[in-house]
Each structure stands twice: as structure tokens, then as C-alpha cells.
């Protein structure tokens, strides 16, 4: 058990075994395919070994008694849920309850204690881990028997309609459906997916956390969604068979360039190019082509910086230092990961050079910004899962 969770249980003299529902909901990384999920494209995410641990038990009162160990905050929500509470972390859970209510399920009273080790603001999607974990929990509690992809869709609907953020489905889907075999190649329009092997002998994936999160992130996300919608509308005026922006080609985009504003054109150019890069990355990984994989990562970073405009000074500094300045080692490529305006870079590094890269970036970043970055070696793992035997052995076994 994580130290802050253990401390809470000890302070209340609680026994974790008295909580029959115990599950782990992972965060996620994304190798490539950024900002293409809400445009119907391909992405390449993976569930990781950092995430959120849930402990839940039934209570007689028609309420949710919630404790967020990371924040050391409590909330009590009346059931049925009828709207937002005003606490964002609690609303992420309330939104999932609301979705089950809309499907006709009666959610009983529960006490839920949760906490995790996903660094907030890092781009590893702690919010999706929170949503996915709650959906997985309630699926068992009310015996809904929804599939994992259906739970991801439910969590996305909650983000879109209850929280009010127009996210795509990648984060929730990766957290719930991740594979220990490797990242998944996910087609976001159809939800077709399969695991792929991302092991490149002699190389490792390393996250570097800038420890900055700019407020632009939350305000610019819906703007990017709207800009992509403008581009799709222009394309569909000539190519009505296009279902989504990621399905378009660059020649098709060129054909409508005169009817599009420059900003919407650049956003669409990035999306279409990125969707193609995902396919090329899958091929590079399958063939063990480290140099090609690194080139694709760098191209994605350039696109996110220049065409999609979601990078920031600190992230660009970390990328440049790792790929252009670092000497005596080899970084094949790197890019910003996540929604943008801060968070982490993901780096493809020769394994033997990881310690030297960490030391180099720590010094350079401290000198430039007076911040010491954090480093996370990536361990890919399975999606949301029970930590131990739950209430219904038959149900849990069927959903592993």
C-alpha cells in the first residue's frame, strides 16, 4: 500500500481487508498519436505501473463518502447524484455515477478511499485513471457487466457532458484496456485495437517531467477541438464521405486551403500528418528501426510545437537539450506528451545512457529554470484490475 494511503488507514484504525472492492487503475503514456483521438485517428497509448488505488465498501446511508488521500480532502455526495459538487476531483467520480444512473442503475451507498502515484499535471492522465477506476468499480457494484471498451465510452461521456471537457477517448480507453504485451494501436473512430511490441533492444523509454503546467492547457483544448471541427466542415463540403479529420489526406486539405483560415489549416495539417506518423511508427517498432522511430518522435514534437501550438518554452528546452545538445550518449528522439503546455517529454534513449541523460538534463534545466525535473522509467502493464479477490469471484474472473 502507498505510504499516504497506509497513513490514512492507520489514522482511522481501518483494516484494508474490510474493503471488499480493491482495485488499481493505471495512468497512461502515449508513444505517438497526440491530439488525434478526438479527430477519429490512430493513437499508440499504453497503461503503466503508476496509477490510482481504490478501496471501497458498501454503507447503509444513500451517500458516497469519499476520501482523496493525495489531497487529504473529504467529500460526501448525496445519492442519487443530481449535479456537480464544486470539488473537481469529486465531480470526476460523481460524473461516473451520473452515467450509471442514466443507464437505469441505482448506485448504493459507498465509502471510497483512493490515492495514487501518478504525478498530477505530468500528462500521464491521472483524471482518466480516476474515471476509469470508478467506472470499473461501479460496474461490479451494480453488476452492469459492461465491457471494458463500453466503460471507456461511459467515462468519456462523463468527461464531455458532466465535467464539460471535450476529450477524446484515448486516455480512458488506454487505462481500462491496456496490455502487458505492450502499447495498443487504437483506432479511435471504431475502437478497434491490438497490442504491439514496443521493445527496441538496447533502448528504453524515459519520461522527463518539466514540473510546469501552464493554465493555457484547460482553455486551449476546446479551442483546438473547434479548430479541427472547422477544418473537417470545409473538407466535408467537397468530400462528404469523410467521417473524421484523421481520415483526410494532405492533397484533400490542399484542395480546401482557400476556404480555410490559416490557423485551422495548420491544425488540420498536423492531425493528418500525425495520423500517418502513427502507422509509420508501428512499422518502425515492428522492424526494430530505432533511428526511424526517433525521427518520428521529433517530427511529432515539431508538429505539436509549430502547427498545433501546444508546447511551451520549458518543454522545448528539454527536447532540444536531449536531442541536440546531449553529448556522450544517444537519444534517438523525444517529444512532448499529453495535452500540452507543460508536463512530460517522452524520450527514446539508449539504455546505457539513461543515467548520463538524467544528470545532464537535471543540471541544464536547473541552470535555466531553477527547477529540477523528475525522471520516470516507463513500465508498461495491463489495464484496470482487481488488486485481490473481490465480492463476486465469478464476476471478477469474467472481467479480468
Half-sphere exposure for 142 (CA within 13 Å, toward CB): 20
Q: What are phi and psi of 366, to 5 degrees?
A: -65, -40
| 366 and 317 Cβ atoms separated by less than 8 Å | no
Antiparallel, parallel or unpaired: β 331-337 and 385-386: unpaired
Cα atoms in the Cβ-side hemisphere of radius 13 Å centred on 251: 0
Report the C-alpha gap between 139 and 100 in whole angstroms.
8
CA distances from 194 to 185, 186, 272 (A): 6, 7, 22
Prior bond of 80 cis (ω within 30°): yes
Supply the Cα-derived Rg of the chain in whole angstroms: 21
Sign of CA dihedral 363, 213, 383, 304: negative
Enclosing H/E stretch for 204: strand 203-213
Residue 33 Cα to chain centre, angstroms = 12
Residue 307 is a catalytic residue: no
Got the DSSP string for 54-77?
Answer: EEEEE-SSSEEEEEETTTTEEEEE
- Alpha-carbon distance of 279 to 363, in angstroms, equals 36
Q: How far is CA 331 from the centre of its chain?
A: 24
Residue in 98, 171, 307, 353 annotated catalytic: 171
Which residue numbers are catalytic? 171
Amino acid at each position: 500500500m502507498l505510504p499516504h494511503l497506509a497513513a490514512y488507514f492507520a489514522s482511522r484504525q481501518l483494516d484494508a481487508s474490510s474493503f471488499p472492492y480493491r482495485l488499481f487503475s493505471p495512468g497512461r503514456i502515449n508513444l505517438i498519436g497526440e491530439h488525434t483521438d478526438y479527430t477519429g485517428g490512430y493513437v499508440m497509448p499504453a497503461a503503466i505501473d503508476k496509477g490510482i488505488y481504490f478501496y471501497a465498501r458498501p454503507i447503509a446511508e444513500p451517500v458516497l463518502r469519499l476520501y482523496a488521500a493525495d489531497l487529504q480532502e473529504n467529500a460526501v455526495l448525496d445519492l442519487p447524484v443530481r449535479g456537480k459538487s464544486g470539488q473537481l476531483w469529486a465531480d470526476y467520480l460523481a460524473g461516473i455515477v451520473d452515467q450509471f444512473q442514466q443507464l437505469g442503475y441505482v448506485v448504493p451507498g459507498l465509502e471510497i478511499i483512493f490515492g495514487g502515484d501518478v504525478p498530477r499535471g505530468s500528462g500521464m492522465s491521472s483524471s482518466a485513471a480516476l474515471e476509469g477506476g470508478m467506472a470499473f468499480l461501479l460496474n461490479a457494484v451494480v453488476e452492469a457487466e459492461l465491457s471494458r471498451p463500453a466503460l471507456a465510452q461511459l467515462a468519456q461521456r462523463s468527461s464531455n457532458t458532466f465535467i464539460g471537457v471535450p476529450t477524446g477517448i484515448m486516455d480512458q480507453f488506454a487505462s481500462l484496456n491496456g496490455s502487458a504485451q505492450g502499447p495498443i494501436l487504437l483506432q479511435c473512430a471504431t475502437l478497434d485495437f491490438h497490442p504491439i511490441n514496443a521493445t527496441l533492444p538496447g533502448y528504453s523509454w524515459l519520461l522527463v517531467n518539466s514540473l510546469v503546467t501552464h493554465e493555457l492547457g484547460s482553455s486551449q483544448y476546446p479551442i483546438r477541438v473547434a479548430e479541427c471541427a472547422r477544418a473537417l466542415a470545409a473538407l466535408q463540403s467537397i468530400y462528404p464521405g469523410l467521417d473524421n479529420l484523421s481520415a483526410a489526406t494532405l492533397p484533400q486539405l490542399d484542395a480546401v486551403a482557400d476556404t480555410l483560415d490559416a490557423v485551422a489549416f495548420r491544425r488540420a495539417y498536423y492531425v493528418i500528418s500525425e495520423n500517418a506518423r502513427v502507422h509509420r511508427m508501428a512499422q518502425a517498432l515492428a522492424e526494430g528501426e530505432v533511428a526511424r522511430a526517433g525521427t518520428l518522435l521529433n517530427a511529432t514534437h515539431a508538429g505539436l510545437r509549430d502547427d498545433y501550438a501546444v508546447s511551451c518554452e520549458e518543454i522545448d528546452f528539454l527536447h532540444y537539450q536531449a536531442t541536440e545538445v546531449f553529448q556522450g550518449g544517444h537519444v534517438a528522439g523525444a517529444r512532448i506528451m499529453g495535452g500540452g503546455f507543460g508536463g512530460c517529454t517522452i524520450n527514446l534513449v539508449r539504455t546505457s545512457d539513461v543515467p548520463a541523460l538524467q544528470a545532464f538534463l537535471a543540471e541544464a534545466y536547473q541552470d535555466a529554470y531553477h527547477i529540477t525535473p523528475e525522471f520516470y522509467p516507463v513500465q508498461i502493464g495491463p489495464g484496470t484490475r482487481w488488486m485481490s479477490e473481490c465480492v463476486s469471484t465469478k464476476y471478477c474472473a469474467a472481467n479480468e
